[in-house]
Structure 1
């Protein structure tokens, strides 16, 4: 990958609900291009660091858009309270960030099953013009976000994870061996793409045991709700980018093909368009150059 000097400030911080939240910003003073607001996935060792490879390649390709890359609460350098995080919680954090830090229109770029967070954020921002469009990279299986899962089931799952049993599981899950095997089985299309940069990033970030709370909230399934009506109300242009080998961890999701998943999203999104590209489930990382090339025309068009 081509190297490029990034116009990035040191990690910045802001306070939200008495929590200290971190973010990175690139090319902040360029007012000629629409800004990108990145929403990282949740998982062992994941935070805004997921997007660093994408940011390098975005600027190496000659794009100059400002990029805002926040750490969601419970992740990265943000505070990590022992909280059962719901998508609306992270959406409200991002709404505050958008209004008090970014202060200008953005295009959302969201990875994977954090798709519901973006949907919630768009709902919160219905009366503003701060969200110009959205890019959904590898969104979750349609069945998972078009059917309600009983709330009691989420709470039971959370209580199991939020226990010594969960703590023991996290100790195992943050090992390099587990992360590598899981990445090969569930995330990447090609084994060789599970490289040292990926493994070092996740194992180093997972050293703080308090990061398990966000992971367990995600695993508990608080994001598994029926979002069909909310998706149908997204009035902004949207782009769904699906990997040709996209898969799902859940039993429900295993029954659908990438083409079927893409078709379901496009049938619900009022101004949606979609494309498939090489890769599986973490496209901005495993196929960074192709992902940049895939989304750049959409961003230029709606900016």
Structure 2
């Protein structure tokens, strides 16, 4: 199959910050757009979704796709601030209202789930989020048991220091990125390929990208979102890898248990387990596309 051309980068302004995104337009006027939320980590940005976008269109689907860079990532501006899920949600809400301007299916990867929850919380009438897809969501304990604001600020201050900067420069080395990806993200080390490592190395080249990573590591996303999850009225698809792992101390957090936990909390949800570990749209792209397509006909 032929490669799908990656669209040119477009920009919009939010709070005087220049924010980047890609738009894959289609002629299908009645198809619900997909709005993708990329994960946060060393070198990660909207490029995480390129493999998925290729597979989505090569499989014959015609939904328009909006693929933004969150502030602090990719080609968006990278101010020296501590980012919270509420900050990124406000950015996405502005993007929804001013750029997309129609209801979307919101697809969120991993522990950026709180950003999706905060974005849903910001919705008024009309509600611009029609459905949600949670790809590789974290163990539910991580988004229902807060770490505490004091601990989060202490961790941020430690990272936002010469010591933290030295750690970031160490962590963006290809050897570290390969080892971490094999230990924490992928079910198969064979999938930690040159394309993945190139993505991370290039994405981490700007040292200012460390502030988004430090915000994630500080745990500003570790809040009690149980009520926010229970309040989601939209149909929701939860996709978990059959070898999903977690930083949670809950030893009972198996893939089946994780699915059950989310289905118990979400009012209108469907759960699917596919092969892979913690980055399903990248590692198990074909299966993930087929699973999403069944949910988004």
Query: Shorter-chain TM-score: what band?
Result: over 0.9
Distance, in Å, in 2 between the alignment partners of 1:107 and 1:5 is 21
SS in 2 for 1:13: strand
Aligned: 1:85 with 2:83: yes
Write the deviation string for residues 208-261 of structure 1: whole angstroms up to 9, x where unpaired. Answer: 00000000000000000110001101000000000000001x242554111111
Which residue in 1 is equivalent to 2:207? 209
Write the deviation string for residues 126-159 of structure 1: whole angstroms up to 9, x where unpaired. Answer: 4322111000000011111111221000000000
Query: Which residue, 13, 31, 34 being the options, matches 2:11?
Result: 13
Q: 2:136, 2:279 within 8 Å by CA — same for their partners in 1?
A: yes
Q: 1:144, 1:253 within 8 Å by CA — same for their partners in 2?
A: no
Distance, in Å, in 2 between the alignment partners of 1:123 and 1:54 is 27
SS in 2 for 1:3: coil
Quickly say closer, same or farther: Cα 1:254–1:40, change in 2 above 3 A.
farther
Q: 2:7, 2:23 within 8 Å by CA — same for their partners in 1?
A: yes
Gap regions ≥5 residues in structure 2: none
**Number of residue pairs matched?**
297
Quickly say closer, same or farther: Cα 1:253–1:13, change in 2 above 3 A.
farther
Gap regions ≥5 residues in structure 1: none
Q: 2:142, 2:248 within 8 Å by CA — same for their partners in 1?
A: no
TM-score between both structures, scaled by the size of structure 2: 0.98
Query: Which residue, 97, 100, 103 being the options, matches 2:98?
Result: 100
Aligned: 1:282 with 2:288: no
Q: 2:173, 2:201 within 8 Å by CA — same for their partners in 1?
A: yes
TM-score between both structures, scaled by the size of structure 1: 0.96
Write the deviation string for residues 136-183 of structure 1: whole angstroms up to 9, x where unpaired. Answer: 000011111111221000000000000000000000000000000000
Q: 1:3, 1:56 within 8 Å by CA — same for their partners in 2?
A: no
Aligned: 1:115 with 2:79: no
Deviation, 1:30, is: 3.3
Q: 2:141, 2:248 within 8 Å by CA — same for their partners in 1?
A: no
Higher mean Cα deviation, 117-126 or 33-42?
A: 117-126
SS in 2 for 1:24: strand
Which residue in 1 is equivalent to 2:147? 149
Distance, in Å, in 1 between the alignment partners of 2:171 and 2:145 is 28
Distance, in Å, in 2 between the alignment partners of 1:42 and 1:225 is 17
Distance, in Å, in 1 between the alignment partners of 2:210 and 2:26 is 32
Deviation, 1:4, is: 3.0
Q: CA RMSD in A?
A: 1.1
Distance, in Å, in 2 between the alignment partners of 1:294 and 1:287 is 11
Which residue in 2 is equivalent to 1:192? 190
Which residue in 1 is equivalent to 2:290? 293
Deviation, 1:29, is: 4.9
Which residue in 2 is equivalent to 1:132? 130
Q: 1:42, 1:214 within 8 Å by CA — same for their partners in 2?
A: yes
SS in 1 for 2:296: helix
